[in-house]
Amino acid sequence: MRGGAGLMVKITDVARHAGVSPSTVSYALSGKRPISDDTRQRVEASIRELGYRPHAGARALASNRSNVLALVVPLRAGIHVPVVMQFAVSVVTTARQYDHDVLLLTQEEGEEGLSRVADSALVDALIVMDVQLHDPRLALLRSLERPSVMIGFPLEPAGLTCVDLDFKAAGELCVEHLARLGHRAVALVGSPPEVYVRQTAFAQRVVEGFTAAADRNGMVSSVHPCEADPAAARAAAERLLREQPALTGVVVHNEAVLEPLVEAFEQLGLRIPGDLSVTAICPDELAGSLRLPVTSVAVPSAELGERAVQLLMRKLNGSDSVPEATLLPPRLTDRGSTAPRDAL
Amino acid sequence: MRGGAGLMVKITDVARHAGVSPSTVSYALSGKRPISDDTRQRVEASIRELGYRPHAGARALASNRSNVLALVVPLRAGIHVPVVMQFAVSVVTTARQYDHDVLLLTQEEGEEGLSRVADSALVDALIVMDVQLHDPRLALLRSLERPSVMIGFPLEPAGLTCVDLDFKAAGELCVEHLARLGHRAVALVGSPPEVYVRQTAFAQRVVEGFTAAADRNGMVSSVHPCEADPAAARAAAERLLREQPALTGVVVHNEAVLEPLVEAFEQLGLRIPGDLSVTAICPDELAGSLRLPVTSVAVPSAELGERAVQLLMRKLNGSDSVPEATLLPPRLTDRGSTAPRDAL
DNA sequence: CTGAAAGCGCTAACAG
DNA sequence: CTGTTAGCGCTTTCAG
């Protein structure tokens, strides 16, 4: 009843079976022109009965649309794998709602990979993650003529569509939260050094927001990049306590070390939130799953993926009013890892 | 110089520019028939100069090959995200070496998703992860006519191509390692209960191997499914010590709890490996990155991905001698978390 | 509301 | 070694 590679049911088969022309079958499928109820039913019945599936390649050739999106995922050090995965799944799921599929590309393929899938019409549009402040792919994406959405904001986003959590506001929100609780000295435990070196936008922005808010509130602040392993976390904790005895508030923007860092603080004799208030910028699932849940600003990977696809769909449909910048406002969830400083 | 959606350079343009026929360009590209050196050079120069990229859809239509593989990734609870991601990246990277791309599907799409991409000729072949012992997709995959490779072994793999780590042997290897060190009582801390309930092949096989080897060596053994969170890990550690005071060897097959479990044992006053020997079945990166590195049998995601693609390529090329079963032998790396029982 | 027919860009016989 | 040509299966004018 259904065919494999060789025995494909084609649109002419369906047409014959339903007693209509191929174009009518096509239009019944696409809805691009009105079909009488009676005809539509017969066509649909034939399609079901014969197990017809339009040939993707033929369709792409004739319609100039592949109904495939490219998703470029980063691989490099310092990016939290579950975030990437959740984002990817969200992109796939949302794309399916718009009848699109997703082609997976790795950052490694570089600009050549983007050109390849775009120029060969393998994909209709692209989603690019892990954008640097000065990303070498910007020029390419601008010239591509196929729509794209970037996750993250480069320094010069003009002419491109970007979506991201407002990481600067997220940094600020954490600090303001601590400020309201009366804390006077805060530290940011950030991403691994290499992330800053390669000028990853979101890491940099957190630092900006963190510092700005601390300054604004007259707080003492410091920033500490941290490698993504437990030993580094422990070392960072020790160093923090040694160098800044007055410290009462910490913001962690580094998924990999959040848990070991909290454990280290406790093993060093600090109670949380009694002696030290801790906030994080990380996925809610992570913050909530710890032995000691952490108050955090969510990195909403799933929502970002959904937004990215929706924006692309609007661009593909020629909608003219697609915003260049979409900054999701940070939302802080209190999980009890922060307390008023007066408590001391 | 290079075209966007509308201004595509096509094979006839290249042909004219190089002063040859379209078929010659096609053959120069595919190598499917001999081309004189001179002609080939002219064609290649024209391709470069015009920035020609073959239209993927047209190619798929004419050649009956899309050069795209489908990869179905699992989403469900109890699967370790980094393993999936590393596997996916390995599949993409390897596929590129064979000039193929990878379409990402989620398990959620189910059998319908498989049929869709296979029957529409969107993909040439499929890779399916997270196979259950009685996987509902088996029948479909057998009937599909497009080649597929499964990661994992169902109970009835006849007619299908499967690749996996030999999890049974992995379980055995861990136990044998402990037996050789003189341990007499061992416990397996396994995957979350739901993983066993849904009869995930690899989890089951580890239990088999673990138990068989323990019995063979006259050891006392027990199996403990464990939820994938730190609290559960701690609870499991306490329970183990309470219920089995004679316990001196533990095998952990649960990436999510390895680290908290080890920490819990230590906090409960056990030195590793002095009082307790710990081994794990998990990615080498995880075992090696812990504060206290753990002796482990590697789950070789990257190699599995590579193998899967290679097998598919052989099947696509009509190679007849493609093995139905590929079981990678387990390899144990000693990281010092095990010691002779005599030391006690 | 429906049909007929002209391609979409490429590959693979077939012919030389 | 190279050219000519007939499709691949679908969409979309153009006609009615």
Break chain B into its structural domains and give their ranges.
3-63, 68-165+301-328, 167-299+331-343
pLDDT at residue A171 tops 70: yes
Q: Give me the CA B35–C1' C11 separation in Å, rounded.
A: 16
**Residue B239 — pLDDT band, cuts 50, 70, 90?**
very high
State mean pLDDT over B231-248: 93
Alpha-carbon distance A127 to A88, whole Å? 10
As assigned by CATH, the class of the A68-165+301-328 domain is alpha beta
State mean pLDDT over A151-156: 92
The per-residue pLDDT of chain A, averaged, comes to 93
**Residues recorded for chain B:** 344
Q: How many helices (H) and strands (E) in chain A?
A: 14, 12
The per-residue pLDDT of chain B, averaged, comes to 93
Q: Which residues of B touch A73 (CB under 8 A)?
A: 89
Note whether B150 and B71 are within 8 A (CB): no
Give the whole-number percent of chain A exceeding pLDDT 90.
85
Question: Do B167-299+331-343 and B3-63 have the same topology in CATH?
Answer: no
Side chain identity, residue A143? S
Mark yes or no for CB contact B89/A106 under 8 Å.
yes
Report H helices in A149-229.
Answer: 167-180, 193-197, 201-216
pLDDT tens by residue, B139-168? 999 999 899 999 999 999 999 999 999 999
Residue A3 is predicted with a pLDDT of 35
Q: Which residue of B has its CA nearest to A11?
A: B120
pLDDT at residue A16 tops 90: yes
pLDDT at residue A5 tops 50: no
At residue B96, the 3 state secondary structure works out as: helix
Residue B343 is predicted with a pLDDT of 52
Q: Which residues of A touch B103 (CB under 8 A)?
A: 68, 101-104
pLDDT tens by residue, B265-283? 999 999 999 999 999 999 9
pLDDT tens by residue, A196-211? 888 788 899 999 999 9
Q: Which residues of B touch A3 (CB under 8 A)?
A: 119, 145
Residue A161 is predicted with a pLDDT of 96
Q: Give me the CA B247–C1' D7 separation in Å, rounded.
A: 72
What are the structure tokens assigned to A335, written together?
């999980």
Q: How far is CA A214 from CA A103, A124, A211, A244, A281, in A?
A: 43, 44, 5, 15, 16
* Rounded (10°) angle between helices A56-63 and B56-63: 140
> A167-299+331-343 domain in CATH 3.40.50.2300?
yes
pLDDT at residue A37 tops 90: yes
Nucleotide with minimal C1' distance from the CA of A34 is C1
State mean pLDDT over B328-343: 92
At residue A319, the 3 state secondary structure works out as: coil
What are the structure tokens assigned to A157, written together?
């986003």
**Residue B4 — pLDDT band, cuts 50, 70, 90?**
very low
State mean pLDDT over A116-130: 97
Q: Give me the CA A77–C1' D3 separation in Å, rounded.
A: 53
pLDDT at residue B126 tops 90: yes
Instruction: Single out the residue of A49, A3, A59 nearest to residue A26, CA to CA.
Output: A59
Q: Which residues of A touch B79 (CB under 8 A)?
A: none
pLDDT tens by residue, A241-280? 999 999 999 999 999 999 999 999 999 999 999 999 999 9
Residues 6+ apart with CB under 8 A from A112: none
Instruction: Single out the residue of A82, A89, A119, A94 nearest to residue A104, CA to CA.
Output: A89
Instruction: Single out the residue of B144, B266, B289 nearest to residue A81, CA to CA.
Output: B289
Residue A180 is predicted with a pLDDT of 97
pLDDT tens by residue, B28-77? 999 999 999 999 999 999 999 999 999 999 999 999 999 999 999 998 87
Name residue, tokens 């019945």. Answer: A45
Mark yes or no for CB contact A2/B85 under 8 Å.
no
Alpha-carbon distance B250 to B254, whole Å? 12
pLDDT at residue A173 tops 50: yes
State mean pLDDT over B225-238: 91
Q: Among A218-227, A306-315, B225-234, B248-257, which is the least confidently predicted range?
A: B225-234
Residues 6+ apart with CB under 8 A from A145: A118, B3, B4, B5, B6
pLDDT tens by residue, A282-323? 999 999 988 899 999 999 999 999 999 999 999 999 888 899
pTM (two decimals) = 0.93
Mark yes or no for CB contact B53/A120 under 8 Å.
yes
Nucleotide with minimal C1' distance from the CA of A18 is C2
State mean pLDDT over B107-125: 96
pLDDT at residue A343 tops 70: no
Note whether A138 and A160 are within 8 A (CB): yes
Residue B1 is predicted with a pLDDT of 34
Alpha-carbon distance B332 to B344, whole Å? 24
Residues 6+ apart with CB under 8 A from A225: A190, A191, A192, A193, A195, A196
H/E segment holding residue B335 = none
pLDDT at residue A344 tops 70: no
DSSP B97-110: HTT-EEEEEEGGGH
Where are the extended beta strands (E) located within A27-175? 68-73, 101-106, 125-128, 148-151, 161-165
Residue A328 is predicted with a pLDDT of 97
Contact between the CB of B36 and strand D at under 7 Å: yes
| A:112-151 residues touching chain B, CB 8 A cutoff | 115-117, 119-122, 143-146
> B3-63 domain in CATH 1.10.260.40?
yes
Higher pLDDT, B184 or A229: B184
Contact between the CB of B12 and strand D at under 7 Å: no
pLDDT at residue B78 tops 90: no
Task: Characterize the bridge pairing of strands A220-224 and A185-189.
Answer: parallel
Residue B5 is predicted with a pLDDT of 44
* Rounded (10°) angle between helices B201-216 and B167-180: 30
Residues 6+ apart with CB under 8 A from A178: A186, A219, A249, A251, A277, A279, A338
**Residue B207 — pLDDT band, cuts 50, 70, 90?**
very high
CA angle A179, A184, A188 (to 5 degrees): 80
Q: How many CA atoms lie within 13 A of A304 on its CB side?
A: 32
Alpha-carbon distance B149 to B134, whole Å? 16
What are the structure tokens assigned to A189, written together?
């435990």
